Amino acid sequence: MKILIINGPNINMLGIREPNVYGGQSYQELLRLLKDWAAELDIEAEHFQSNHEGAIVDEIQAAYGCVDGIIINPAAYTHTSIAILDALKAVSIPAVEVHISDVSSREEFRQISYPGQACFHTIMGQGLEGYHQAMIVLKNHLSKQ
């Protein structure tokens, strides 16, 4: 089982950006955790992070026929990107949306998720552990297919 984990803009600044919201662990620490969780669940996981919307669209398109599932934290593009929504719909790869913070209890402009509309599940407010939960949910979903 092969999955692609996509992180959007400013996720590479974890540990530096608003630690009161996103915690004190760095993006490198997140990558290490993802590696451990992938090994624990016997999943092959690839990682991609970009600050550019089109690069994320390109990555989703390139995943067509290559991966079984996607975990995506579109970060700020969550609230603006119909292009990422359309890319997820175009490839029809089962996807789980993750947010480190609890976006539902934050500003009004964060209350809409466009890419989330192409995801079968959303996890939010669990910190980095949310990616672990997303892997479990995705693995269970793919195992049933």
Residues with catalytic annotation?
A: 22, 99
- Which stretch in 23-31, 36-44, 55-63, 97-105 sits in contact with ligand DQA by CB under 6 A? 97-105
| Of 31, 11, 14, nearest in space to 23 by CA | 14
Residue 40: burial class (beta carbons within 10 Å; 0-12, 13-18, 19+): exposed
Number of residues counted as binding ligand DQA (CB under 6 A) = 10
Q: Is 4 in the site for ligand DQA (CB under 6 A)?
A: no
Shortest Cβ 73–ligand DQA spacing (Å)? 5
Under rule CB under 6 A, which residues in 14-73 are in contact with ligand DQA?
73
- Which stretch in 37-45, 46-54, 98-106, 135-143 sits in contact with ligand DQA by CB under 6 A? 98-106
Q: Is 10 in the site for ligand DQA (CB under 6 A)?
A: yes
Of residues 22 and 139, the one with the C-beta less far from ligand DQA:
22
Half-sphere exposure of 119 (CA within 13 A, CB side): 22
Residue 61: burial class (beta carbons within 10 Å; 0-12, 13-18, 19+): exposed
Summarize as ranges the residues that interact with ligand DQA (CB under 6 A). 10, 73, 75-76, 78, 99-101, 103, 110
